[in-house]
Amino acid sequence: MDTVKEIKKDFFINMGPQHPSTHGVLRIVLNVEGEKVLSSETVLGYAHRGVEKMAESKTYIQMMPVMDRFDYVSSMLFEWGYVGALEKALGVKVPERAEYIRVIMGELNRIASHLLWVGAFLLDLGAFTPFLWVFDARERIMDMFEEVTGQRMTNNYFRIGGVKDDLTPQFFKMLQDFLKMIRERMKDTEDLIESIIFLERVKDIGFISKQDVIDYGLTGPVARGSGFSYDLRKNEPYSVYDKIDFEIPVGEKGDCYDRYKVRMKEVIQSVRIVEQALNLLPDGPYTEKSPKVVKLPEGEYYNAVETSRGLLGVYIVSDGSTKPARFKLRDPAFSNLSILDKLLPGNKISDVVAILGSIDVVIPEIDR
Amino acid sequence: MEALSGSIFFNIILSIIGVMVVFTINALFAVWLERKVSAHIQLRLGPMEVGFHGAIQSAADGIKLIGKEIITPKGVDKKLFPLAPYLVFFPSLLMFVVIPFSDKLQVQDLNIGLLYFFSISCIATIGIFMAGWASNNKYSLMGAVRSIAQSIAYEIPIILSILGVIIIAQSLKLSDIVAKQNIWYIVIQPVAFIVYIIAAIAELNRTPFDIPEAESELVAGFHTEYSGMRFAIFFMAEYTNMFLVAAMATTLFLGGWRGPILPPVVWFFIKTYAIVFLIIWVRWAFPRLRPDQLMNFCWKFLLPLALLNLLITTFLLKLF
């Protein structure tokens, strides 16, 4: 016992791929000293299916339902991005009624996605009740989707030149009921959530600066939480968003609380959009006649939409056949997740789940 | 029977049976109550199928857990791993000994009852640490370490808060404390009551202080590797401790079994379950604190508050 061995104080914790709060099969290797995180490494690949390669062996129409399987909580917004790229390529004009239906469905999907996030985020922080409060509201959206599209989650509702089915009278009734209750429910939930413990947990945690937003290519509520006002619906309006009055909520400091607040405000803004779109909804056809066999002219096509997590870019290279020569997604959650390893060091283990939760990742979208 | 009734063995056997009955019924009822209360807070109905409004659901769950295979994972400490649940569980049973359910219903009215109660409650922490250590799992170990830190921190405000009561009652004997409460001590010692309830929730490892078993961070904390009946024992111990903490709050602050018209036992259970309800309510309303915040809250706020309360109590007592 003449030499004293150097005592190693740090050790590794494997958070995931099977862990309650990594929201799927994400693996984070944490190097910790007691409760403090020294460094982290995010490991992907547990849900990799090679969908981008798969797309090259599928026709454009066969690819449509696959789009739902990326971000399964805001699937319609992903369909929108893909269908928009095809429409650009084919030069199809979408009827106005279809555009408004798309806006209504897209925004409802955004609300559903944000509600799920709020619930899951609070679950990560240890509060169970808000999860079920928002799920009651989300359930109504799911019922509306089922009424119109026949599916609750992977809807496969968008078509080239319009949507699959027209909105039903029952849908309008359900939507009115939903719009009546959602504001009050959001207020109640906010009152329940924002206790002093919650504020202690999320304030001044996981700062993202404006420069980080640009450096890491962050988009969506994560970017807007840092005061970076960028929303495709406002900055490069597509569809009929230029005819609708809404605001882009932004945060100030860029901590977890700001990201939470931005999402809560976005829900209310989406409700406003749905209300306006409902008033503006014109009569007319809900879909254009689309070709039976879709062949894109040779060239490169790109379309971007704002999903609930940020900017989704769909990039298609066509060689003139019925299948894409190259298919690539620029998805929001992948870029947003890239900043995680920068945010974690120096924080406590409990903050890891708060920061990861506030970034809002959906694994099948990241691991495609 | 005549000869037996006076003997000490008869009393011991009767006491053991009594404690086991109270323990079992409480565990079943408290789990059911928690599920029902949480369900109604969360816009749900909770268990409805088994029995009237799911009344025997917890019994059904218990039977299911008994039927499960006892799994001892590879790499665990073969001796400590099975032992740990019992070390958490037995202190809960032992703590029943001094609880005065009524003026007559008390296993043993020790003259150091209060001291006994709180010393026994500390033993469970060793069991929790044993479970975390023996599991050979980092999550378990972290949960156990957190639990130790938390227990040490929160034991102090608990003791300090009840010191106020002891000073007023001039006794550690629980029957004396109840007898002296012509005015409930919650009126005389409101701060002590609040400190006691907060620290007790922390002792119970329940939200917002459930960091040792924070399921979103540490999977299940110290009982990650436990399953079947061993897990159920941890679970029952938790609910029994909840009852005991509430029973002690009733005895110390709410006048114990005393009350008009209804028999004392009924009063005792009404008051106890009111506190249990409060603890459940808190759990389903708040998120969880971070370990360092929890420590800050204890050392920088709760402890000074308890000390201040003690100071004022002694000062006023000397004055009048």
Task: Please give the pLDDT value at position B1.
Answer: 42
pLDDT tens readout for residues A271-315 = 999 988 888 888 888 888 777 787 888 888 898 898 888 888 899
Within 10 angstroms of residue A45's Cβ, the number of other Cβ atoms is 11
The residue ranking higher by pLDDT, B3 or A86, is A86
The C-alpha atoms of residue B159 and residue A133 are separated, in whole angstroms, by 38
pLDDT tens readout for residues A52-111 = 888 888 888 888 888 888 888 888 888 888 888 888 888 888 888 888 888 998 899 999
The C-alpha atoms of residue A234 and residue A241 are separated, in whole angstroms, by 7
Give me the mean pLDDT over the A356-364 stretch: 86
To test the contact with chain A by mutation, choose from B43, B146, B216 the residue with the greatest count of A C-beta atoms within 10 A, namely B216
Nearest Cα residue in chain A from B287: A127
Shortest Cα distance, chain B CAs vs residue A121, angstroms: 10
Mean pLDDT of chain B: 83
Give me the mean pLDDT over the A329-340 stretch: 88
| B167 in Cβ contact with B317 (< 8 Å) | yes
Task: Please give the pLDDT value at position B263.
Answer: 83
**B124 in A contact zone (CB under 8 Å):** no
pLDDT at A2 over 70: no
| B257 in Cβ contact with B264 (< 8 Å) | yes
pLDDT tens readout for residues B86-103 = 888 888 888 888 888 877
Q: Which of B43, B286, B290 sits opposite A195 (nearest CB)?
A: B286
pLDDT at A367 over 60: yes
Task: Please give the pLDDT value at position A5.
Answer: 66
| A355 in Cβ contact with A343 (< 8 Å) | yes
- Which bin fits A150, alpha (ψ -120 to 50), beta or left (φ > 0)? left
**B225 in A contact zone (CB under 8 Å):** no
> Residue with structure tokens 């005389």?
B188
- Percent of chain B surpassing pLDDT 90: 0
- Least confident piece of the model among A238-242, B105-109, B253-257: B105-109
Size of interface A-B (CB pairs under 8 A): 85
pLDDT tens readout for residues B156-197 = 888 888 888 888 888 888 888 888 888 888 888 888 888 898
Which residues of chain B are within 8 Å of residue A128 when distances are taken between CB atoms?
Answer: 38, 42, 284
Task: Please give the pLDDT value at position A297.
Answer: 84
Tell me the residue ranges of DSSP E strands in A109-258.
Answer: 158-159, 162-163
A128/B284 Cβ within 8 A: yes
| B89 in Cβ contact with B236 (< 8 Å) | yes
Task: Please give the pLDDT value at position B5.
Answer: 55
Give me the mean pLDDT over the A325-349 stretch: 87
Task: Please give the pLDDT value at position A19.
Answer: 79
**HSE-CB for B59 with a 13 A CA cutoff:** 11
pLDDT at A322 over 60: yes
Task: Write down the pTM of the prediction.
Answer: 0.85
- CA A14 vs CA A23, A28, A146, A363, B57: distances in Å: 15, 6, 39, 17, 36
Task: Please give the pLDDT value at position A319.
Answer: 87
